[in-house]
Amino acid sequence: MPRPVIFDLFHTLVHGGDAERDRVIGEMAQMVGVAPAELVTAYHATWRDRMTGWNVAETVRILAGRLGAAPTADQVSRAAAHRRELAARLLAGVSPETLAVLDALRTDGHPLGLISNATAETAEAWPGSALARRFDIAVFSCDLGVAKPDPAIYRTAADRLGVDPADCVFVGDGADGELAGAAAVGMAVFRTTEHNDTDPAWDGHALAALGDLPVLLREG
């Protein structure tokens, strides 16, 4: 049986949109009455809380409150909707070439899984994306309450695919120590540099183009 392939999301299948994220946060700040630069800083400082617990509305309320504001329910709703629109837009930015790679892997019989350190708005947008239709399972840190490289998130993905972690291939750019985390539970690991060269110190397999993966797995 072809091995299950588990992918990271941002900087692996789609661009992370880091500059656009900061721009959107700055616009959200204006909606809730705080300084844009301060809200951007607060967002960066609370990434783990946002990826393992807070939903988007909670994030807006908590961070605005810490910055001395008391936004109304309508202001929070508007800012949260603005953030949700960004999440959907980033997922919609997946390239036709990437979708073709996923289709080729499925044609070859590989079950496909996703593990993403992601905030709630990404998990909410996922089911309506073209990516979601190609995957058998998706595990988001915001839903599970733990983030990569915690072994639990990799084991959860393997369990949902009905296999052992050692049966899986993990593909990611390397953010948050994800490659070492996957290797630690026994997964074969491929680092992708197509969108971002995030972990150049990784000395394992590397893919300059995601499109090389189906052939490599057929040969492997």
Say if residue 18's pLDDT is above 90: no
pTM over 0.85: yes
The reported pLDDT for the residue numbered 1 is: 80
Confidence tier at 68 by pLDDT (50, 70, 90): very high
Averaged pLDDT of the chain? 96
Confidence tier at 201 by pLDDT (50, 70, 90): very high
The reported pLDDT for the residue numbered 162 is: 98
Cα-Cα-Cα-Cα torsion 67, 70, 74, 76, nearest 10 degrees, comes to 30
The rounded distance, in Å, linking the Cα atoms of 129 and 192 is 22
Confidence tier at 77 by pLDDT (50, 70, 90): very high
Q: Taking residues 59-65, report their average pLDDT.
A: 97
Give the pLDDT confidence of 27-53 residue by residue, as tens digits.
Answer: 999 999 999 999 999 999 999 999 999
The reported pLDDT for the residue numbered 136 is: 98
Say if residue 165's pLDDT is above 80: yes
Q: Taking residues 153-158, report their average pLDDT.
A: 98
The reported pLDDT for the residue numbered 193 is: 95
Bond into 165 cis (ω within 30): no
Q: Are 181 and 154 in contact (CB under 8 A)?
A: yes
DSSP conformation letters of the chain: -PPPEEE--BTTTB---HHHHHHHHHHHHHHHTS-HHHHHHHHHHTHHHHHHT--HHHHHHHHHHHTT----HHHHHHHHHHHHHHHHHHHHT--HHHHHHHHHHHHTT--EEEEE---HHHHHHGGGSTTGGG-SEEEEHHHHS--TT-HHHHHHHHHHHTS-GGG-EEEE--GGGHHHHHHHTT-EEEEE-SS----TT--SEEESSGGGHHHHHHH-
Give the pLDDT confidence of 177-199 residue by residue, as tens digits.
Answer: 999 999 999 999 999 999 999 99
Give the pLDDT confidence of 128-149 residue by residue, as tens digits.
Answer: 999 999 999 999 999 999 999 9
Say if residue 151's pLDDT is above 80: yes
What phi and psi values does residue 93 have, to the nearest 5 degrees? -80, 5
Give the pLDDT confidence of 206-220 residue by residue, as tens digits.
Answer: 999 999 999 999 986
Confidence tier at 21 by pLDDT (50, 70, 90): very high
Determine what percent of the chain is predicted with pLDDT higher than 90: 94
